């Protein structure tokens, strides 16, 4: 999402780094989604969480903005793209016929479906935290996914680039594969480690193709 943010921040006269702003936003909406899961009320749609937290971050950074600015950023100028190692390795795994692949996301179901289809992610289905009524890493999200997949948790390998996401999946009985793109050590307070750790999806596909 960096290019879209770079143009916006430059136009607003903000001197900071766009990557830092995007990462701060991701941290902010992860925190807010966890608060939302703890409140014991109906889940706030993720698209609302994204917009509210981005506006709050801009207020914190003293970046002048309007609701229209936020809407333009999240719907047009700063939409996500895929890492270059996504499609080919996933297609390779799919072609083996040994794996069913699904996306499990905190995104709302409609937005998730649009992203999967729009980006051409080669998976069999998309499962949203919206269907569970919580946000990851709440156990209810992973347990809902296991139910949707219709297989025992130990037959599910949850692949993620964040240790907190792997920890949530493993607590629900899944196996975990940590995509360590940024060479950040995996840390769990109980000292446990994921079943697999690789630097990217190409290495993941190579490892799983051997099993």
Q: Give ∠ CA 58-20-199 in degrees, rounded to 5.
A: 140
pLDDT less than 50: residues of the chain? none
Cα–Cα dist 110/112, whole Å? 5
Q: Give ∠ CA 26-27-28 in degrees, rounded to 5.
A: 90
Cα–Cα dist 185/178, whole Å? 10
Cα–Cα dist 94/98, whole Å? 7
- What are the E-state strand segments in the chain? 102-105, 125-128, 157-160, 175-179, 196-198
Within 77-210, residue ranges assigned H as helices are 87-96, 109-119, 129-132, 139-149, 163-171, 201-209
Q: Collapsing DSSP states into helix, strand and coil, what is residue 111?
A: helix
Quote the pLDDT of residue 209.
84
Whole-angstrom CA distances from 207 to 4, 46, 90, 201 are 35, 33, 12, 10
Q: Collapsing DSSP states into helix, strand and coil, what is residue 102?
A: strand
Quote the pLDDT of residue 132.
97
First to last CA, the chain: 35
Quote the pLDDT of residue 2.
86
Quote the pLDDT of residue 127.
98
Quote the pLDDT of residue 80.
85
Quote the pLDDT of residue 78.
87
Cβ-based neighbour number of residue 105 at 10 Å: 19
| pTM across the whole model | 0.93
Q: 73, 4 in Cβ contact below 8 A?
A: yes
């Amino acid at each position: 999402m960096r290019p879209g943010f770079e143009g916006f921040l430059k136009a607003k006269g903000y001197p900071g780094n766009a990557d830092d702003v995007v990462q701060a936003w991701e941290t902010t909406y992860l925190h807010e989604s966890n608060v939302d899961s703890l409140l014991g009320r109906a889940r706030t749609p993720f698209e609302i969480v994204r917009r509210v937290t981005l506006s709050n971050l801009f207020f914190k950074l003293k970046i002048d903005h309007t609701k229209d600015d936020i809407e333009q950023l999240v719907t047009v100028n700063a939409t996500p793209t895929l890492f270059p190692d996504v499609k080919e390795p996933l297609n390779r795994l799919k072609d083996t016929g040994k794996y069913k692949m699904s996306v499990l996301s905190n995104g709302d179901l409609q937005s998730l479906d649009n992203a999967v289809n729009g980006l051409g992610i080669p998976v069999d289905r998309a499962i949203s935290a919206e269907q569970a009524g919580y946000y990851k890493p709440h156990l209810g999200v992973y347990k809902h996914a296991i139910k949707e997949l219709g297989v025992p948790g130990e037959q599910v390998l949850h692949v993620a680039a964040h240790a907190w996401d792997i920890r949530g999946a493993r607590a629900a009985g899944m196996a975990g594969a940590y995509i360590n793109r940024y060479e950040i050590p995996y840390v769990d307070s109980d000292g446990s480690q994921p079943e697999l750790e690789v630097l990217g999806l190409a290495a993941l596909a190579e490892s799983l193709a051997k099993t």
